[in-house]
Amino acid sequence: MASKFIIGVIGPGENATPDDNRTAYEIGWAIAEQGWATLTGGRSFGVMDAALKGASENKGSTLGVLSAANSKGSSMHADIKIVTGMGSGRNLINVLTSDVIVVVGMSPGTASEVALAIKNDRRIILLKQDELTVQFFKKIGDYKVLQAQSIPEVIAMIKDYLSVNRS
């Protein structure tokens, strides 16, 4: 069996807006539609839960990389729950496990994951981000950071990247 590409969806938990959650659900659904796996921080709320729910409801594979030492408070939409007990250190696992990172919304934890992704040479797609956020991450991440305004645009960017950079 061929391995699946893993698309990380990162964004805020408790500070996610209703629009962030809606967008995360839609990107999770679209990732599943492509046959790719969806990875998030695995919590039961915010962008993490919404992306996993979208993927799960479209019969996609889902992974939650949890910061806690148990699965309490994890998304019921994660097929595979990776319990790390690492706190925010689990952000590095999220980044290194993902072939591409899609960013929905912004928070301090999200910003730290984007920085780790840049440092570890991962492709990052900032979805519906404000111009200041885009400018900042493009300044430090250069060509690794792309900007998208729609789900179809994100999927096209991922396909383009994966066609050239197959693991």
Q: In total, how many domains does the chain have? A: 1
Domain assignment present for 103: yes
In a domain, 1, yes or no: no
Enclosing domain of residue 58:
6-164
Q: What CATH number is associated with residue 111?
A: 3.40.50.450
Q: Which residues of 144-164 are buried (b: 16+ CB within 10 A; e: fewer)?
A: bbbbbeebeebbebbeebbee
- What's the angle, vertex CA 39, arms to CA 93 and CA 49, rounded to 5? 120
Note whether residue 43 is domain-resident.
Answer: yes
Q: What is the layout of strands, in order, in the sheet containing 100-104?
A: 80-83, 62-66, 37-40, 6-10, 100-104, 123-127, 145-148
On whether residue 134 sits in a domain, the answer given is yes
Question: Does a structural domain hold residue 81?
Answer: yes
The answer to whether residue 69 is domain-embedded is yes
CB of 63 closer than 8 Å to CB of 4:
no
Give the pLDDT of the chain (167 residues) as one tens digit per residue.
Answer: 567 999 999 999 999 999 999 999 999 999 999 999 999 999 999 999 999 999 999 999 999 999 999 999 999 999 999 999 999 999 999 999 999 999 999 999 999 999 999 999 999 999 999 999 999 999 999 999 999 999 999 999 999 999 998 75
Domain-located, residue 144: yes
